[in-house]
Each structure stands twice: as structure tokens, then as C-alpha cells.
Structure 1
């Protein structure tokens, strides 16, 4: 009675780069650049503090200048304060930067780089 060794696994048929033996996978990385509307520059996460980025308008590396604007969350909090009877306090969210949206501007050309919306 003779025992036969198991057959080797079949090799995949396909294109292998030169110097790449069959059966070994080639590792590669892919960089994805996301370009959207004016809400976030090139996939960057905007917050309520200045960031370092490249201005799409003047093509210079800058630290953004920030400006606060009244947004949806500011109006909502003001409305809720009025609704619950806090008439004297209802305009406080309009004075607090943490309740407002943040606009990131280029300090050189004043181009709007992006907006951080709280809601």
C-alpha cells in the first residue's frame, strides 16, 4: 500500500508584476482626495479653532482666520429659551461663540476656506 503526498494547491492564473512570484500578494496604498463644496476643504475636519491649510484661492500655506456666525443651533437655542419663558436670557446664545457656526477665512485674500456648522 503506497501513500501519496497531497497535490500542491493550484496557482492562480493572472498578471503578476515582474519579480513578483505567484501566490504572493502585492501590497499597495491608495490616497483618496475628497473635494466637496465649501463645507470642508479637501476632506479636512474643521473645528472651532484655526487650522493650518493651503488656500485654494491664493495657493499659500496659511493659518485660517475664524469668524463666528449665527447658525441653526443658535436660532434653535434662542427659540427654546423663549418657549420655556426665559425671555431675558433668550439672546445669550447670540453672544456666545460656542453656539455659533465658524467660518474659516484665508488671512491673505479673505477667501472662505470652509465652514464648521454646529448642526
Structure 2
């Protein structure tokens, strides 16, 4: 193995010529790179017309009010937003539960579903005019 500072062997690398005469001159018509072209100036900016702004509006979409067992906010006939009042009324679910209790033999307890609001239908009342705004039926 050769020493780290030793020059490489001569047989691996070809000898480097000492004068430039060893290389033939490159003719000007066959130059490696074409001559630089003068840069063209971009055309002057033309006067542009004034920008037109187009405003697109979407029509107002009425959101559907979902009536459940909690008060909701509605718009009354006068355009005011009001919160509905709840009124519980016996519906089909109350009568079905009462019938099942009666059939099971607990006839003395069949009036209990008529006292529980969770089994009744919910009527949403408009407080300004007293009309029914919506109904949530359990069944």
C-alpha cells in the first residue's frame, strides 16, 4: 500500500500537456455556445379598462325549525323573534303505556303515564298571539 502523501502512480493518469498548442483552436463559427442574443423589451403596458366588481348575493334560505321537547326561537307574524312556550298534552304514547300497564295487571297504576310529561306530546305555543307554532309527537 502506498503512503498517504505519496503521488499517485503515473500509469493511472495520462500526462497533462504543458502548453496550449497541444489543443486545436475552436473555430468561431462552430463555437460551443451560440452568441448571446439581445434581450427583447416587453411591450409597454396598455391602458386597461376599469375593473368591474360583481356582487353576487344568495337568497336567504329559511332554516327549518325542529320542534322537540325544548323551547325554540321563532319569528312571529310581526317579524319579532320570540321563544315558544311549551304545553304538554296526552297523545298516543300515553294511552299505549297505560294500556300495557293495565294488561300486565297493574290496573291501579295505569293512570301514572297521564302525569308524566316525558310521555306526552309537546305543543309549541307562540306567546304573542297564542297560536300553535309546532307540535312534537312522541309517536
TM-score by length of 1: 0.62
Q: 1:105 to 1:58 in 2, by over 3 A?
A: farther
Larger RCO: 1 or 2 (CA < 8 Å, sep 6+): 1
For the pair shown, which has the larger CA radius of gyration, 1 or 2? 2
CA distance in 2, matches of 1:98, 1:76: 14
CA distance in 1, matches of 2:117, 2:123: 12
Deviations 1:49-89 (A, max 9, x none): 1111112x443211000000000101100111101111111
TM-score by length of 2: 0.53
Corresponding residue for residue 132 of structure 2: 112
Point out 4+ residue stretches in structure 1 off by more than 3 angstroms. 29-33
Instruction: Return the offset for 1:30.
Output: 8.5
Instruction: Return the offset for 1:43.
Output: 2.6
How many residue pairs get aligned? The number is: 82
Give the alignment partner of residue 90 of structure 1, picking from 89, 110, 129: 110
Instruction: Return the offset for 1:107.
Output: 0.8
Q: CA RMSD in A?
A: 2.0
Corresponding residue for residue 78 of structure 1: 98
Corresponding residue for residue 49 of structure 1: 70
